[in-house]
Amino acid sequence: MTVIATREGFWRGMRACVPLIIGLLPFGLVVGVVAQSKGLSMFETALMSAIVFAGTAQILALETWQEAAPVLPATVAALAVNLRFALMGPSLAPWFDAMRGWRRWLSVAAVVDHAWALSLAEMRNGRHDAMFYLGAAFGLWAPWMVSTVIGHAMGSVVALPPGHPLFFAAPACLIALLVPVWRGAGIDILPWAVAAATSLLVTPMLPIPALAVVIGAVSGSLVGAWRDTAGGRA
């Protein structure tokens, strides 16, 4: 596999992420609204979005936010839900290894679900332009920043009640990410079903529900690895 890194790949990545921005915007609005309700300033909200760039982690951290910021619980919760990147990162390693200098470090810093899913589909289609990932990540980062700032402004004038449909934006956005990586029931149904069932089963038993994401992901990965071995196919 020959990996390249071109400007054309960067722009193709930006174009590929456009449909996902539609689902990303309400997710960002939710983060902004919650941040405002927790007392963060607009600058603090924008800075958090710029540096963290992980909607699920931001939601988890904000949901545990109190008057005296609970740094340790918020950090543990964010770490738990972001451990999935330890599984996602190796799949992008061939692309990251092909880049040098700021391009590599910026790509690593901008690892996010949406760009990962698009890049994985790109790899499976036989295209290996590493700048595609950076283009997709940047194409998502900019609207994310804008939407969280708008959400913060909305939060100062509109109080959304618990259970408002806008709060479903986060899980809806993550569910939509499954579409480009789905390879058919014969390949993916077993590990995906195991991951989902395991997550639902262990959630009530865990002190930090976010850990269910990691446990489910690891369980599904193990089942997929077992299936792909000679023993699993027997």
Mean pLDDT value of segment 205-219: 77
pLDDT given for residue 135 in this prediction: 92
**pLDDT of 63-88, one tens digit each?**
766 655 567 766 776 776 777 777 78
Task: Kindly report, residue by residue over 196-207, the tens digit of the pLDDT.
Answer: 899 889 988 877
Domain ranges of the chain: 7-181, 183-234
Model pTM?
0.68
Model confidence over 157-173: pLDDT tens digits? 766 666 666 666 666 66
Percent of the chain with pLDDT over 70: 81
User: Is the model's pLDDT at 16 over the cut of 70?
Assistant: yes
Ramachandran bin of 69, using left for φ above 0, alpha for ψ from -120 to 50, beta for the remaining angles: beta
Highest mean pLDDT among 38-47, 50-59, 106-115: 38-47
Burial 180-203 (b: 16+ CB within 10 A, else e): beeeeeeeeebbbebbeebbeebe
Residue 146 banded pLDDT, cuts 50, 70, 90: very high
Nearest to 50 by CA among 106, 12, 7: 106
CA separation, residue 100 to residues 93, 105, 116, 221 (Å): 13, 8, 19, 30
Return d(Cα 143, Cα 60) in angstroms, integer: 21
Task: Copy the structure tokens of residue 159.
Answer: 């109080």
